Amino acid sequence: MLTLIDSLFYIAFLGQIFLISYYFPHKIHRRMQYVLETYPPSRYPRLYPKPIEYYRIGQWGFKMVNRVIIIIGFLIMFIMLFVVDHSSFADDGFISEFWPAAYGAIQFLPLVFLEFSECNQFKLMRKAHVSTTRKANLNRRHLFGFVSPRLFAAAVSLFFAALFFDLYVLEFEIRWDRDAFQRALVLTATNLLLIAVGAWTLRGRKSNPHQATEDRTRQISAALHSVLYVSMVMSVFFMTQTADDVYDLDFLDATLMSLYFQVIVVMSLGHVLRSLSLEDVNFDVYRDNGEALT
């Protein structure tokens, strides 16, 4: 018989399956379909450096892969409930965070592949872009032109709060073999990676050679907000892990891990999709006579 704690986890895990492998992939698939139907290659050839069949197959493949991952999610639940002891892989007798973490890694694979496909798409666009008439936006981009100082300060404050909380738990005794010290290293390294991503987003060259300046501005703003939100969510999650060490909250490990993946997706991908409405994108730059902006 399932305990209340186990039931909470399975509810959270169902949310993880639905949110990451159905809800957001469904929204992305609808955006793909909208673009293909509303902006066909006959009128917007610069948007399609490859034959239209390639994009239709990719759209179908993205949908099918996520459906398979949904099936895997329910299969994992079945295994946990009826095949093996639900507390397998956990020394404390509770459901291990291994289950939602491993499944979450699988769920992110289609999104990672989609990101690489987008990069390849832009690479082909740049290769095909032979226009000799170019315009440059010479305005220097500054961080606080895209995100508010308050949001940035909140992200920085939460980062240092997470580090301080770990040090407090350690009674300010730094030891290499302590979980708190290892968490501090992981949190710091991940935030450095996020800083690098943010810096490239802000200062890097334009990937899409045809993208209008206004669209790029919105894209940079959405990406930088997403980076800060992810940093904040990570800091809060790491503080829950520290609290776990102090107050023996092992029974919540799996549930918190599942919720962590869901919040990450909502605050990153969800924010980007909400901020970058297709109706606001200037698709005229992809026509034959569209003038590329750089």
Residue 286 has pLDDT above 90, yes or no: yes
Helices 4-18 and 98-128 pack at an angle, to 10 degrees, of 10
List phi, psi (to 5°) of 103. Answer: -65, -40
In angstroms, rounded to a whole number, what is the distance separating the alpha carbons of residues 294 and 291? 10
Give pLDDT, residue 88. 54
**Which range among 76-80, 107-111, 158-162 shows the weakest confidence by mean pLDDT?**
76-80
- Top pLDDT among 172 and 77 is at 77
Is residue 41 predicted with pLDDT exceeding 60?
A: yes
CA torsion sign for 268, 274, 280, 283 is positive
How far apart (Å, rounded) are the C-alpha atoms in residues 214 and 68? Answer: 38
- For all residues of the chain together, what is the average pLDDT? 88
- Which of the four pLDDT bands, split at 50, 70 and 90, describes residue 84? confident
- Is 50 exceeded by the pLDDT of residue 7? yes
Alpha carbons 111 and 188: distance in angstroms, whole number: 24
Nearest alpha-carbon partner for 292 in 137, 139, 131? 131
Residues 29, 109 contacting (CB under 8 angstroms): no
Q: Span 143-151, mean pLDDT?
A: 95
Cα–Cα distances in Å, from 287 out to 42, 127, 291? 9, 17, 8
Q: How far apart are CA 153 and CA 224, in angstroms?
A: 14
Q: What's the residue count for the chain? A: 294
Q: Is the pLDDT of residue 216 over 80?
A: yes
- pLDDT bin (cut points 50, 70, 90) of residue 94 is confident
Taking the CA atoms of the chain, what radius of gyration do you get in angstroms? Answer: 22
Give me the pLDDT at residue 293, please.
41
Sign of the C-alpha dihedral, residues 40, 42, 44, 45?
positive
State the average pLDDT over residues 22-39.
96
What was the pLDDT predicted at 34? 96
Locate 108 and state its tokens: 């992110």
| Range 16-43 average pLDDT | 96
* This prediction's pTM: 0.90
| Token digits of residue 248 | 């023996």
Q: What is the pLDDT, as a whole number, of residue 182?
A: 82
Of 163-167, 168-172, 208-212, least confident by mean pLDDT is 168-172
* 266 torsion bin: left (phi>0), alpha (psi -120 to 50), beta (else): alpha
pLDDT(56) > 60? yes
Question: Can you give the pLDDT at residue 294?
Answer: 38
Q: Domain ranges for the chain, please list them.
A: 4-130+141-286
**% of the chain at pLDDT higher than 90:** 69
Q: Mean pLDDT over residues 99-123, rounded?
A: 95
Of the ranges 83-87, 133-137, 238-242, 248-252, which is most confident? Answer: 238-242
Query: What's the pLDDT score for residue 4?
Result: 84
